[in-house]
Amino acid sequence: MIELYTAGTANGQKVSIMLEECGLPYNPHIVNFAAGEHLSPPFITLNPAGKIPAIVDPEGPNGEPFALSQTLAIVLYLAEKSGKFVPKDIWERAEAYRYMSLVASDISGAFTGLFVFTHMHPQSTTQVVDHFQAQAARNLRVLDKRLGDSPFLAGNAYSVADILAYPVAASSVKGLPEQLGPYPNLRRWSEEIAERPGVKRGMAVGAP
Ligand SMILES: N[C@@H](CCC(=O)N[C@@H](CS)C(=O)NCC(=O)O)C(=O)O
């Protein structure tokens, strides 16, 4: 049974969705940030950065316990372990990599910036907030354009790219001001993915 250290955040949900979609049994541990659990010595042994998500797979690559952090690395590890959700076709696989990179760097960076400067430091200047809001909108437009051309991010089939993009994209289409873009294709995709039973169960892990 895989041990999952998570919280009700988009990064945590990406991993719980992946575990659910792959049908891999797991045991969720909800890390309490307010109590500083993410900075406690036992947690730091799992991820020296003190951030969720992290997993411990008791049956790792050599049949031995294996701890892993970093959302993208965990999702790719689970994809290899289960043999699921990585496109077989090289073109679709490259497209999956493209959108996974976009999520891990550009989209996560933009939304982390927005969160930090609106929630953690609400006294921040409007220029800083405007900057991150514009970056968020710009990257959501990239997803929206892609989803206007193909049903899923990698192409015709649901893949790791959709699993990584869904939690933040889904909350964004609801939360961003309408003038930053209606994102009709992103909305269509996000409504379809929201109906998947594994996504519903994965999104519920750590939810308040
Ligand atoms: N690059 C890391 C980022 C993980 C991350 O930012 N986790 C946040 C929650 S979504 C966290 O644990 N924050 C606690 C902190 O910053 O102290 C990943 O992709 O896993």
Give CA separation, 169 vs 63, 97, 140, in Å: 36, 17, 7
Could you tell me if 62 and 131 lie in one domain? no
The CATH code of the domain that includes 185 is 1.20.1050.10
Could you tell me if 70 and 108 lie in one domain? no
Could you tell me if 46 and 104 lie in one domain? no
Could you tell me if 49 and 96 lie in one domain? no
CA distance 3 to 56: 5
Could you tell me if 130 and 175 lie in one domain? yes
Q: In the chain, which ranges are E strands?
A: 2-6, 26-30, 54-57, 66-69
The CATH code of the domain that includes 13 is 3.40.30.10
CA distance 193 to 199: 7
Segments forming the whole domain that contains residue 176: 90-196
Q: Which class for 58: exposed (0-12), middle (13-18), buried (19 or more C-beta within 10 A)?
A: exposed
Give the DSSP H/E element, type plus range, for residue 171: helix 160-175
DSSP-based helix, strand, coil % in the chain, nearest 5: 60, 10, 30
Could you tell me if 179 and 96 lie in one domain? yes
Beta bridge partners of 26: 2
Query: How many domains does one find in the chain?
Result: 2
Q: Which residues contact 24 (CB under 8 A, 6 or more apart)?
A: 2, 78, 81, 82
Per-residue pLDDT of the chain (208 residues; tens, 9 = 90+): 999 999 999 999 999 999 999 999 999 999 999 999 999 999 999 999 999 999 999 999 989 999 999 999 999 999 999 999 999 999 999 999 999 999 999 999 998 888 888 888 888 788 998 999 899 989 999 999 999 999 999 999 999 999 999 998 887 766 666 655 678 899 899 999 999 999 999 999 999 8
Could you tell me if 182 and 97 lie in one domain? yes
Q: What is the whole-number distance in angstroms between the Cα of residue 144 and the centre of ligand 1?
A: 25
Could you tell me if 36 and 106 lie in one domain? no
What tokens were used for 117?
């400067």
List all residues whose CB is within 6 A of at least one atom of ligand 1: 9, 11, 38, 50-53, 70-71
Could you tell me if 80 and 171 lie in one domain? no
Is the whole model's pTM more than 0.85, yes or no?
yes
Q: What is the whole-number distance in angstroms between the Cα of residue 52 and the centre of ligand 1?
A: 5
pLDDT at 208: 82
pLDDT at 166: 96
Ligand 1 mutation pick, 30, 52, 100, max ligand atoms within 8 A of CB: 52
Torsion sign over Cα 115, 111, 16, 77? negative
What tokens were used for 54?
């992290």
Could you tell me if 139 and 108 lie in one domain? yes
Closest among 81, 52, 79, 56 to 67, alpha carbons compared: 56
Q: What is the whole-number distance in angstroms between the Cα of residue 53 and the centre of ligand 1?
A: 7
Could you tell me if 39 and 61 lie in one domain? yes
pLDDT at 164: 97
CA distance 130 to 167: 22
Could you tell me if 155 and 140 lie in one domain? yes
Please, are residues 205 and 8 in contact by the beta-carbon 8 Å criterion? yes
pLDDT at 6: 98
pLDDT at 176: 62
